[in-house]
Amino acid sequence: MAVNRSVIRGVGAYVPKRVMTNADMAKIVDTTDDWIVERTGIHSRHIAEEGEKTSDLGIAACRQALVRSGIDPLDIDLVICATATPDRTFPATATRIQAGLGINRGAAFDVQAVCSGFVYALTVADSLLRTGQFRRALVVGAETFSRILDWSDRGTCVLFGDGAGAVVLEAQPTHGTREDRGILFSRIRSDGRFEDLLYVDGGPGSTKTTGHLRMNGREVFRHAVQKISGVIEETLVATGYAADEIDLFVPHQANKRILDGIARKLNVGPEKIVVTLGKHGNTSAASIPLALNQAFEERRLKEGSLVLMEAMGGGFTWGAVLARW
Ligand code: UT7
* 134-163 pLDDT per residue, tens: 999 999 999 999 999 999 999 999 999 999
For 230, list phi and psi in degrees, rounded to 5: -60, -45
With a cut of 50, list the residues of the chain below it in pLDDT. Answer: none
Which protein residue has the closest C-alpha to ligand 1 atom 41?
Answer: 31
CA of 40 to the centre of ligand 1 (A): 8
| 3-174 against 182-324: fold identical | yes
* Ligand 1 contacts CB of residue 117 (under 6 A): no
pLDDT of 282 reads 98
* Ligand 1 contacts CB of residue 261 (under 6 A): no
CA of 296 to the centre of ligand 1 (A): 32
Q: Which CATH class is domain 3-174?
A: alpha beta
With vertex at residue 32, the alpha carbon angle to CA 31 and CA 37, rounded to the nearest 5 degrees, is: 115
Catalytically annotated residue among 4, 22, 255, 282: 282
Domain boundaries, the chain: 3-174, 182-324
pLDDT of 2 reads 79
Q: Among candidates 145, 146, 126, which has minimal Cα distance to 136?
A: 126
282 counts as catalytic = yes
With vertex at residue 254, the alpha carbon angle to CA 252 and CA 259, rounded to the nearest 5 degrees, is: 70
d(CA 90, CA 143): 15
Question: pLDDT tens digits for 261-311?
Answer: 888 888 888 899 999 999 999 999 999 999 999 999 999 999 999 999 999
Catalytically annotated residue among 252, 255, 280, 293: 252
Distances from the Cα of 88 to the Cα of 120, 127, 165, 203, 270, angstroms:
21, 27, 20, 12, 39
* Ligand 1 contacts CB of residue 144 (under 6 A): no
Q: Which residue among 116, 194, 221 has the greatest number of ligand 1 atoms within 8 angstroms of its CB, and so is best to mutate?
A: 221
CA of 96 to the centre of ligand 1 (A): 36
Q: Which CATH class is domain 182-324?
A: alpha beta
* Ligand 1 contacts CB of residue 258 (under 6 A): yes
Atom of ligand 1 nearest to the CA of 252: 1
